[in-house]
Structure 1
């Protein structure tokens, strides 16, 4: 950014070249933060005209005030730019899951529909006011460039009415349709109509059950270019109909029902398209050794595998690791019977090609298996471990010591002593590539202070120096730090930090909050049980006055402000 600011005062011919639009497009590829883009607006008028479009592509309303500012700008009679024409993505949902929605109105939707003709992506969280059938229909009718549409919590009547523009061919460019209906109380006829008019759809995600051959055949016939398909449940008939028709399928996500046995699944293994991603959930008491052995032989291009299958055994993972030569990402969730043998096979067969590993809720995988991952998978970029009771600090220290190019490291439900070991190892071994660090302890407060490594401000300062690229950090764990001001000063040394969740060891004061707000990058903070009464009052007053600044959420006894 120093170069960009210095350009403003430069007058030589060589330096003026850097201000041309052509060069700007090259430079902008290296600007990945919104605030940096905003600062570049002031270099010269040409840069302003180009970069303001990027800032307005996808507005985010973290507060009611920010939403009202957005509306006021759209209503402006003499704006400097046609801001509405720049908007491409609109998300009508709360910024965080535990917060209420901004107060949208029918008038707002009409204004957005009129002023923002180039919207390509729309997300709606529910069908309540003002997202009635008539309002959503009007909005979709005015978005001929729509590429993706996502809706949650809707019923059959709403879908039939609201999606009428799609059913009439008014959204010909639509590529992604996602219907997250928790009640699953709508018919598939609306899908048939949409698919027949929107032939470019390649991605379809449904919270529905595909349990009939006719339904599956209707889907593949109506969506001939389908590449990504997700549904809540699928039985053998549905899977059979889907696989025999979706020849372009690259990604499949679903939960197998009881009639998809190992033998039944094996008969379909050859029918699968050449997938790049396979996500399977299975809760019934069935293992799949035959299916995995046969299936893996046909899936030479598989890159991502997610298994949330309670009763599978080691052979399933072993076969996929052995035969899928491009496999680089695997997630193992609630696979209670997997042992070190599966992990060792994964380490041996995928070795340096493995980039992403997630293991959650397993009590049989031990430090021995993780040692092989650390030794063989040195190019690992992402590691996530949750509630694996046989893994000790040795597993995580080995991973952080040997995998020096980690970009994300997340551990959940481990003692604070283990988390301290992780922080200290990252602080000495990581090559500065880490961008996401999330640490959650078990929540059990012990008085054991005999551990020689502490998770305190000094340890975090070393992490900040070693890993300056950290953007997102969660410290929901016990820390051995008694000086709140010292901790605040340390947090400010994470120069690129944008999101922070923390459970402070001492309550932050009003002064601490003001110091934290001076961080140049920090945008979102969640503070759990960690404010003095004065600090809480300060944040409430600022919220009531609609003052700007960092977006701070306080959680106390399941209440937030």
Structure 2
């Protein structure tokens, strides 16, 4: 009796009052009455595999609740796990119909172990919604088509980097999965206009179409795609037609896409030699309010005039990629600076005509910029770093082969209060004037730094420092491997500790205020 009055007095909340959040209004008398949502909430806190298994084997009801969550998206990180999964799907289990529970499959991390036999195991599934097998070079049309025939509910498929696939896959996808919303097929060089025609005629709900690097796709096929799939939000047609007799995508094709795809948020048009300002000659008064990302990498015909038209059309762009647009000048940066708070990401690597003045316009007008890459922009100097160091949200900066940059410029990023230094990734490869001392100071000033590239920097070509680097990629040349110097994750932390322990005394003349004052060069006019 006293317990009841204590509970109703409000001095301590009752169990039933806590679980009202889960739709329970009556007191729970038995553990079997716990709501499904509450059981799943408890299960979500268990990270250890043994604990999860103990939880599931406590009672059949908990098993049935938890097993569905585990198999909704099975974790597959090794070849052994692939084999075990295939065995389970092929075997009949009295405990549960595991194949029926799978909704999302991602085999990209074990791509080398994926073949048609593995794919055949997934034909036992009939509810797959997302299917990722990117870079699985050992699969064929037959294996992929078998999965598509068994799973008509697929909403997203990723077959990127699989060169052996042909239009048969696109035809099967269109016939069996008309509700597909995402097709990721970059560098599927076997896809042609014929396959795209099937998608265009039978998949009107398509929202994400990634066909970059599919060189056999011409503007005829892509035109059909634009006409038949008006809800596309993300379109990647980089390199389509490039290097073939069909030729690159024309200005009129791009113009048509921009006019018809009113929900478009991202468009990637890289490696298109024929693209010019005419691609953005839309009807007067037209604005692309939804457009957030434009990638024009390696489009030499893109000039300041094209950027002027683009900014007028898309006043809310967040990400702009203009790497290797060699005709651009500071005028383009002044135009981009008009985006103000909208701009988050800017890549202008290899735009050799850009100077400090153009970067200053960006830094002074775009305070929300988080990423900027000015690699191989040889006309920028320490002045650019001084301007960029004032950006309050800058997280990543690319300065590869910016030869005029030295310790003075890097020091600009060390003067911000510790808690406000947002830098996470810094790329300084081949900036030969950078010293160990200034990198030590940068590391101490940037507690969030997780990536630092110093490839080809002479002061770091020493075993005592390279011991903390990650291993170089296997596809590098012998010379590239010999100068490789990239610190990631724990490597950054270990380098910081080593320098503070063994080089605590190191200093450079650039730290002297008088030296700094002498080296402040006027901005290029």
What TM-score, normalized to structure 2?
0.69
Picking from 309, 330, 351, the partner of 2:346 is: 330
Other structure's SS at 2:257 match: helix
Quickly say closer, same or farther: Cα 1:52–1:261, change in 2 above 3 A.
Answer: same
Deviations for 1:85-133, whole angstroms, at most 9, x for unmatched residues? 44333344455xxxx811x4544322222046334223243564xx332
Residue 36 (structure 1) aligned to one of 43, 47, 70? 47
Residue 198 of structure 1: how far off its partner (Å): 1.5
Give a deviation string over 1:424-443, Cα, whole Å, max 9, x none.
4444554xxx3x61223234
The residue aligned with 1:282 is 298
Equivalent pair of 1:126/1:154 in contact (CA under 8 Å): yes
Who is 2:509 aligned against? none
Give the Cα separation in 2 of the matches to 1:90 and 1:258.
38
1:229 alignment partner in structure 2 = 235
Distance 1:49 1:426, change over 3 A: farther
- Residue 122 in 1 paired to residue 157 in 2? no
1:79: Cα distance to partner?
A: 6.7
Structure 1: distance between partners of 2:96 and 2:498: 50
- Cα distance 1:214–1:172, how it changes in 2: closer, same or farther (>3 A)? closer
- Of the candidates 330, 352, 357, which is equivalent to residue 341 of structure 1? 357
Match of 2:199 among 194, 197, 200: 194
Give distance in 1, aligned partners of 2:177 and 2:103. Answer: 15
Distance across 1 between alignment mates of 2:271 and 2:250: 6
Q: For residues 211 and 83 of structure 1, what CA distance do their matches in structure 2 show?
A: 39
Q: What aligned pairs does 1:447-466 form with structure 2 within 5 A after superposition?
A: none
Alignment partners' CA distance in 1, 2:461 and 2:261: 58
Q: Does 1:138 align with 2:149?
A: no
TM-score where L is the length of structure 1: 0.65
Q: What does 1:291-440 correspond to in 2, within 5 Å? A: 291-308=306-323, 309-323=325-339, 325-351=341-367, 353-375=368-390, 377-399=391-413, 401-402=415-416, 404=420, 406=422, 408-413=424-429, 414=431, 418=435, 421-422=438-439, 424-428=441-445, 430=447, 434=448, 437-440=450-453
2: distance between equivalents of 1:415 and 1:87?
52
Deviations 1:122-180 (A, max 9, x none): 3243564xx33222211111122212122245679x43322333232x21331111223
Aligned in 2, Cα 1:146/1:236: closer, same or farther, shift over 3 Å?
Answer: same
Gaps of 5+ in 1: 1-11, 459-469, 488-561
1:242 and 2:272 matched: no
CA 87–385 in structure 1, closer or farther in 2 if over 3 Å, else same: farther
Cα deviation per residue 1:501-551 (whole Å; 9 max; x = unaligned)? xxxxxxxxxxxxxxxxxxxxxxxxxxxxxxxxxxxxxxxxxxxxxxxxxxx
Kept in 1, the 8 Å contact 2:238–2:272? The answer is no
Q: Which of 113, 122, 130 is equivalent to 2:123?
A: 113
Q: Per-residue deviation at 1:302?
A: 1.0
Which one has a bigger Cα radius of gyration? 2
Question: How far apart are residue 202 of structure 1 and its match?
Answer: 0.6
CA offsets 1:33-58 (integer angstroms, 9 cap, x no match): xx837577368458876665555444
User: 1:216 touches 1:239 (CA, 8 Å); kept in 2?
Assistant: no
After superposition, the Cα gap between the structure-2 partners of 1:360 and 1:70, relative to the gap in structure 1 and judged at 3 Å, is farther
**Structure 2: 5+ residue runs without aligned partners?**
1-12, 20-33, 240-248, 469-486, 503-525
Instruction: Tell me which residue corresponds to 2:23.
Output: none
CA contact under 8 A between 1:89 and 1:120: conserved in structure 2?
yes
Aligned residues of 1:57 and 1:89 also touching (Cα < 8 A): yes
- Aligned match of 1:532: none
Q: Name the count of aligned residue pairs.
A: 436
- 1:208 is matched with 214
